[in-house]
Amino acid sequence: MAGIMLNRLERNFPALFHKSFRYFWLGQIISVIGTWMQRTAQQWLVYSLTKSAFLLGLLGVAQFGPMLLFSLFAGVIIDRYSKKKILIITQITMMAQAVILAAIVWSGKAEYWQIIVLALVFGFLMTVDMPSRQSFVIELVGRKDLPNAIALNSSVFNFARIAGPALSAVLMARYGAALCFFLNGISFIPVIFSLILTKPVAAKIQKERKNIIAGIHDGIMYIWRLPSLRIPILALLAIGAFAINMEVIIPVFADRVLGLGVHGYGFLLSAMGFGSLIGALFVAARVRIPKQSIIFLGAFLICLFEIIASFLHNYYLVMPAVILIGFSNVLFLTSVNSIIQLNSSDEYRGRVMSVYALSNNGMTPLGNFFAGSIMEVFGASIGLFMCGGVAGILVILLLVWMGKSHHELLE
């Protein structure tokens, strides 16, 4: 019986049978929960201090602005050095950032500008950490099990989206936000040790050291020449810029539309995480060779459910819509991630994943600014409707543009 279960587990989740990936995956579980606790507490803290959707949107600008401005530079650096060493440095530094934030809030003298500055520091670190982490996975599992590993990583991320916000909401209500920041700092310790234990396969490091601008240009032209990279990245630009703004929308929506406090805010984020976790496990178990058609299906579903949610003003009706947004979000993002990594060569992987990070999280400042501004003037419901609607129109335009080259969709 145990043998049958083990065979089924290996068939559905083969990436877990790579020892180095297993260390890395287990180490991330605790760390990412801590990260989501901090993100949730930080957003609620800023909103509590300012009561401004616009200033809350600026938090996203500070946190993800560096990724918008410097992702392409980070990609060149990642292709030139060991990803394992880069990750150890970024994780240690992010641990220090979390502890400093905890100390400031614990002092009882936290001000908006201090939170923004530390969010900016975190943004610079994530600009290097995120594409390094994502392009590191193939060195742990190889190409065959890469889609499964990406989906399992997504399951960790989305399990954390359930546990992190819920824990954060409970702890904030009883002890305040500082404890969430401190626990996040501690949570980096397991992932640092897991990185030390990994033994990645040596990847091809870029030997020809062009100047950094030439390296960026080379990477962008590499992506543009290949439809299997170009089309997913363009779709991600549309969704990343406008549709993936739920973190700035949910606190305002929970407060002004649903009339809920910190608990309702945390549980809505957890609901989205629950949908994302189900989506990640579905992709890991069922999707072996992702296709670009799945990318567009996921993109349209995200936009559709956001538009539907914008018309719902009841907590129990909004909850299923948010769960479905989370499911669609993972279906879309894991498909994009898998397709572009499977079609990238090792020497360009860091630059390709830096463009992925730019298109996904790097667009967050523009999206947060857009969503925050719309909500400030027209309200949270209109803001959510506009985010889904604008992203949907852009995806339709991309499909129209692809119409003359229909074979690209099927590649």
pLDDT for 75-89, tens place per residue? 888 888 889 999 999
Average pLDDT over residues 39-66: 82
Least confident of 127-141, 252-266, 288-302: 252-266
Task: Give pLDDT, residue 11.
Answer: 67
Share of the chain above pLDDT 90, in %: 22
Nearest to 74 by CA among 124, 138, 137, 140: 124
Closest C-alpha to 113, from 62, 177, 37? 62
In whole angstroms, what is the distance from residue 155 CA to residue 282 CA? Answer: 10
Average pLDDT value for residue range 94-98 = 95
The pLDDT of residue 203 is 58
Band of the pLDDT at 4, cuts 50, 70, 90?
A: low
Look at residue 204 in the predicted model and tell me its pLDDT. 56
Domains delineated in the chain = 15-197+211-410 (1.20.1250.20)
Give the ranges where 361-411 is alpha helix by DSSP (H).
364-378, 380-402, 407-410
Please say whether the beta carbons of 94 and 177 come within 8 A: no
Long-range CB contact pairs, 45-48, < 8 A, 24+: 45/105, 45/110, 45/115, 45/177, 46/112, 46/115, 47/251, 47/252, 47/255
pTM of the model as a whole: 0.76
Of 224, 187, 146, nearest in space to 27 by CA: 187
Which amino acid type is present at position 313?
Answer: H
Sign of CA dihedral 191, 197, 203, 207: positive
What is the structure's pLDDT at 302? Answer: 93
Q: What is the pLDDT of residue 193?
A: 92
Percentage of the chain with pLDDT > 70? 90
Lowest mean per-residue pLDDT among 24-33, 115-124, 217-226, 401-410: 401-410
pLDDT at 261: 66
At residue 411, the pLDDT reads 47
pLDDT in tens, 156-174: 887 787 788 778 888 888 8
Highest average pLDDT, of 8-17, 81-90, 140-149, 159-168, comes from 81-90
Each residue of 210-230: pLDDT tens digit? 678 888 888 889 988 888 888
Q: Are 39 and 164 in contact (CB under 8 A)?
A: yes
Show the DSSP H helices in 79-111 as ranges. 83-106
Range with lowest mean pLDDT among 113-117, 216-220, 250-254: 250-254
Sorting pLDDT into bands at 50, 70 and 90, what band is 275?
confident
| pLDDT for residue 64 is more than 90 | no
- Please give the angle made by the CA atoms of 401, 245 and 356, to the nearest 5 degrees: 55
Closest CA to 302 of 320, 325, 322: 325
DSSP characters for 136-180?
Answer: HTHHHHTTTTHHHHHHHHHHHHHHHHHHHHHHHHHHHHHH-HHHH
**Per-residue pLDDT tens digits for 26-35:** 888 889 999 9
* Digit-coded pLDDT (tens) for 368-396: 778 878 887 888 888 889 988 999 999 99
pLDDT digits (tens, 9 = 90+) for 347-366: 888 888 888 888 887 777 77
Predicted pLDDT at 318: 86
Would you place residue 289 in the very low, low, confident or very high pLDDT band (cuts 50, 70, 90)? low
* Mean pLDDT within 178-184: 93
For residue 206, pLDDT beyond 60: no
In sequence order, what DSSP letters do the residues of 52-83 get, joined into one string?
-HHHHHHHHHHHHHHHHHHHHHHHHHHTTS-H
Contact 271, 326 (CB under 8 A): yes
What pLDDT, on a 0 to 100 scale, did the predictor assign at position 6?
59
Average pLDDT, the chain: 83
Higher pLDDT, 183 or 1: 183
pLDDT band for position 408 (50/70/90)?
very low
